[in-house]
Chains A and B, each alone.
Chain A
Amino acid sequence: MNKASDGRIGWRELITMLILVNVMVGTDMTPVFLFKLGKNATWIFPLIWGVIMIIPLLALSSLLRLYGDKGLIEIIYHLTGKYLGFILGSGLSLIVFNLLIRMSSNYIQETTEIFLDSTPDIEVYLLLVGAAYFIAKYGFETIGRICSLLFPYIVVSFVILIILARMDFIYDFLYPLEGPGIMKIIKSSVVNLPLAMEFILIATFFPFIKNHRHYRRGVWGGLVVSMITLSLILTIYIIMFDYNQLEVISHPFNLLIRVTGISRFFMNFDAFFFAFWLMMVIIRFAFYLYLNSALFAYVLRIKEFEPLLLPFATLTIIIGLPIENPVKNIQVFKYNLLWNNVWWFIIALPLLLWIIAYLKGEFSNEKG
């Protein structure tokens, strides 16, 4: 009966979802190895990612407009046939699965080490992944709705964080501007491009989005805002703590929230910001859980994938538990064969699909 309770989301939900999920990258342990590469010019990285992402996104956008109601995986199958499509799709699926597990164990370790020392990992895992599963079970719509509901408040708390931290900023830490040198910056940033791959993968859910206009607004707006915000976050890290310290600290975001507000007021506000950070972590988990199940199901041509959520959640917990400590996590994460080659895969895939569609003459049949 109602126009909008039909399971589709609009651009407002989409843009907030993309921003919240993507910005979280700046608050876990990934900045640590980014800083090792980019030193004090790391803040340029997200901007480069944004620029490079434009081309694949354009290709993807026109492909989606062509096939009105197909998601990314369906387009892959349609254009490249069964076998190649299966390989490409499962490649994507494995990448995301890998990311989900690494990321989840990362967050859990961060939470337990800093805040809840003696809580066993499995408890925190159960709570967080359980909450994420609970949200994801309600559907894509609900994830979008929660994001757009919480977004203004998270923005407000972020602004408060910046205002409180402002007094410790030393802008001179940004110099020398080029850091390790322009070529090195570009090389290191490109290798880490997959940190922004949600913008490509969101195309899997294109059937869940109201129409192409909403998709466009959501994705482009999300790209611009989240890249700028990421850059801002990295800048704040640099000007608060110098790049030397950043290569050594294990959890920069945590340090940031511990340090702000001290001796200005008499309280340590870190638990307050921790609460908002946790909310975003749960939302990110829920999104990735849903994405993972969707990719897996679409690749295997299963229509209903909601029942797959529970097995994936459990798998995440089981595989993520044995990872012993954050350092091992980063090493495995970073030097994983799968990870190092992902960046060109992500850029090339939409372009490849577009070229195939062009050659097949699909575009000449387009409405117009």
Chain B
Amino acid sequence: MRKVKLLLLILSLTLLTGCFDKVELEDLAYVVVIGIDKGADNGFEVTYQIGNPQVGSSDRVQAEEPASEIITMNVPDLATVRDLANVSVSREVTYAHLKAIITGEELTRSKESLTLLDAVLRDQAIKQDVMLIVSKEKASEFIRGNKHELETRPHKHYEFMSRRWEETGLVPNSTLLKFFPRILGDAGLFLSTYATTKKSKTHYGYEDEYLAGQVKKEGGNSMQMIGAAVLKEGRMIGTLNGEEVKITLLLRPNTVRSSMLASYADPLAKDKRIAASWSKTEPTKIKMDLSTDIPKVDVVVPIKMEILSIASGIDYVEDLKKQKLLKEAIARSLEQKSMKVVKKTQQEFKGDPFQWYLIARKQFWTLAEYKKYNWMKKYPTAEVRVKYDIEFTNFGRQLKPFNKEYIKD
């Protein structure tokens, strides 16, 4: 009996302690999106978008409240923002369900960018799958301008969009997780999603030659997310439009894409297009020869294509010679585009966003040798050859295209 009494005494001690770290769900303000801009006097302007749980819940009393609360503050550094927000936000701010960090382009191009991102890494509360988005205008304007009409809650919007990259390839998968190895590896460029809510000069082009803001569309959300911002050593040095991003992702050694839609010029009918859905199921084969000072890189990209529509009506399907012609035409156009992108990265950016440094590492036995070689310096002078290996797998439901003249009568 004595033992039991002793046990009860000790147990009651624990009742007097404990309960640290306890939070009540409804006491928290869930920040869904953080926007960071350059502020006055070397400080930052931080914007919080705080999600409102009441909206969209099956609550009997429907609260007449907006879906989220957006506040902007000027702070000298990022770590103190959380407490400062309680000046007007009544609940405890938590980053536990943060979905995206948006940095304004002006800030990302400036020198403070790396220190900013370092502060973000140190913060224990920020999860690693947070999206990094660079917005063309100020982040606070972007967040306010992003009126997602179909989704009741802001976080859903970002969740959905962050998954679309896999399907469309128009934006890179830019999460915090991928960011740090690239930066610390000191050998490559990091691509961050580029977005905007302002309309810029729109032009009419083929489906992916757009940069954010250039797509001509009416209605719906004014936000457009396409293309990438290129960051070298933490600073933004340029942009890539949607098509260039797609090609970049193709040239990377590891990415495997499901299906994406694209259209290509018809080789035989000069102003008509052929629409195709293509997928890359095997990794890109990259061969490097680093024996000399000028690296030689040979890239072979295997693609499987499915032809969806042939606007000109020419029969590319059943005529094997025409198939071969189409294949070569598409391959050639892709190769030209790829070389353009490669040149751009070599000359303008002077760094490789294709993660080829990973292949470079394979060529050495020890780290010392690899570091001595310094891939980052050697890359702009590299000789690169890209080849596309295309296979037509399917032609849609119909084999032969319609013969329009025949139908018209």
Residues on A facing B (Cβ under 8 Å): 39-40, 113-114, 116-120, 123, 168, 170, 172-173, 175-181, 241-242, 244-245, 248, 255, 258-259, 262-263, 266, 268
Contacts A172-B359, A176-B369; A242 near B129 (Cβ below 8 A): no
Q: How large is the interface on B (under 10, 10 to 19, 20 to 34, 35 or more residues)?
A: 20 to 34
Q: Is B20 an interface residue (CB 8 A)?
A: yes
| Complex contact A259–B362 (CB within 8 A) | no
A262 to B176, CA, bound (A): 12
| Complex contact A175–B124 (CB within 8 A) | no
Complex interface: chain A residues within 8 A of B127 (CB): 258, 262, 268
| Complex contact B177–A168 (CB within 8 A) | yes
The stretch from B44-52, B178-186, B328-336 touching chain A is B178-186
**Residue in A120, A180, A242 whose beta carbon sits within 8 Å of that of B366 in the complex:** A180
| Complex contact B367–A40 (CB within 8 A) | yes
Complex interface: chain B residues within 8 A of A168 (CB): 177
Q: Is B406 an interface residue (CB 8 A)?
A: no
| Complex contact B18–A123 (CB within 8 A) | yes
| Complex contact A180–B367 (CB within 8 A) | yes
A117 to B361, CA, bound (A): 39
| Complex contact A176–B358 (CB within 8 A) | no
Q: Is B364 an interface residue (CB 8 A)?
A: yes
Complex interface: chain A residues within 8 A of B181 (CB): 173, 241-242, 244-245
12 new A-B contacts, CB < 8 A, other than A172-B253, A178-B365, A180-B367, are A119-B20, A123-B20, A170-B254, A172-B254, A173-B358, A175-B362, A180-B366, A241-B180, A241-B181, A244-B185, A245-B181, A268-B127
A316 to B370, CA, bound (A): 45
Complex interface: chain B residues within 8 A of A248 (CB): 184
Chain B 268-298 residues near chain A, CB threshold 8 A: none
Chain B 142-167 residues near chain A, CB threshold 8 A: 159, 162-163
| Complex contact B21–A179 (CB within 8 A) | no
B360: nearest residue on chain A (CB-CB)? A175
Give the most central of B17, B254, B366: most A CB within 10 Å: B366
A175 to B359, CA, bound (A): 9
A181 to B366, CA, bound (A): 6
Residues on B facing A (Cβ under 8 Å): 17-18, 20-21, 124, 127-129, 159, 162-163, 177, 180-181, 184-186, 253-254, 358-359, 361-370
A279 to B21, CA, bound (A): 20
Complex interface: chain A residues within 8 A of B21 (CB): 116-119
| Complex contact A255–B128 (CB within 8 A) | yes
**Residue in A123, A181, A266 whose beta carbon sits within 8 Å of that of B368 in the complex:** A181
A308 to B358, CA, bound (A): 54
A117 to B82, CA, bound (A): 16
**Residue in B20, B361, B365 whose beta carbon sits within 8 Å of that of A120 in the complex:** B20
| Complex contact B129–A262 (CB within 8 A) | yes
Contacts A176-B367, A263-B163; A116 near B128 (Cβ below 8 A): no
Give the most central of A173, A180, A245, A258: most B CB within 10 Å: A245
A266 to B127, CA, bound (A): 13
A172 to B365, CA, bound (A): 13
Give the most central of B17, B181, B370: most A CB within 10 Å: B181
30 A-B contacts (beta carbon < 8 Å): A40-B367, A118-B20, A118-B21, A119-B21, A123-B17, A170-B254, A172-B254, A172-B359, A172-B361, A173-B361, A175-B358, A175-B362, A176-B363, A176-B364, A177-B365, A178-B366, A180-B367, A181-B366, A242-B181, A242-B184, A244-B186, A245-B180, A248-B184, A258-B127, A259-B128, A262-B127, A262-B128, A263-B163, A266-B159, A268-B127
Q: How far is the CB of B119 from chain A (nearest CB, A)?
A: 14
| Complex contact B361–A245 (CB within 8 A) | no
A254: nearest residue on chain B (CB-CB)? B124
Q: How far is the CB of A156 from chain B (nearest CB, A)?
A: 25
Complex interface: chain A residues within 8 A of B368 (CB): 180-181
The 4 closest A-B pairs by CB, nearest first: A172-B358, A244-B184, A119-B20, A262-B129
Q: How far is the CB of A286 from chain B (nearest CB, A)?
A: 19
Complex interface: chain A residues within 8 A of B369 (CB): 176
B125: nearest residue on chain A (CB-CB)? A117
Contacts A116-B21, A170-B254, A241-B181; A259 near B124 (Cβ below 8 A): no
Q: How far is the CB of A248 from chain B (nearest CB, A)?
A: 7
Complex interface: chain B residues within 8 A of A245 (CB): 180-181, 184
Complex interface: chain A residues within 8 A of B364 (CB): 175-176
Complex interface: chain B residues within 8 A of A118 (CB): 20-21
B97: nearest residue on chain A (CB-CB)? A268
A40: nearest residue on chain B (CB-CB)? B367
| Complex contact B366–A176 (CB within 8 A) | yes
**Residue in A113, A176, A255, A266 whose beta carbon sits within 8 Å of that of B361 in the complex:** A176
A11 to B20, CA, bound (A): 42
| Complex contact A172–B129 (CB within 8 A) | no
| Complex contact B128–A175 (CB within 8 A) | no
Q: How far is the CB of A333 from chain B (nearest CB, A)?
A: 22
| Complex contact B184–A176 (CB within 8 A) | no
A81 to B364, CA, bound (A): 54
A17 to B185, CA, bound (A): 39
A179 to B361, CA, bound (A): 10
Q: How far is the CB of A258 from chain B (nearest CB, A)?
A: 6
B19: nearest residue on chain A (CB-CB)? A119
**Residue in B20, B124, B129, B365 whose beta carbon sits within 8 Å of that of A263 in the complex:** B129
A113 to B366, CA, bound (A): 35
| Complex contact B20–A170 (CB within 8 A) | no
Q: How far is the CB of A117 from chain B (nearest CB, A)?
A: 6
B357: nearest residue on chain A (CB-CB)? A172
Q: How far is the CB of B48 from chain A (nearest CB, A)?
A: 21
**Residue in B185, B254, B359 whose beta carbon sits within 8 Å of that of A242 in the complex:** B185
A243 to B369, CA, bound (A): 16
Complex interface: chain A residues within 8 A of B128 (CB): 255, 258-259, 262
Complex interface: chain A residues within 8 A of B180 (CB): 241, 245
Contacts A244-B185, A262-B127; A172 near B20 (Cβ below 8 A): no
Contacts A113-B124, A245-B180, A263-B162; A179 near B367 (Cβ below 8 A): yes
Complex interface: chain A residues within 8 A of B370 (CB): 176
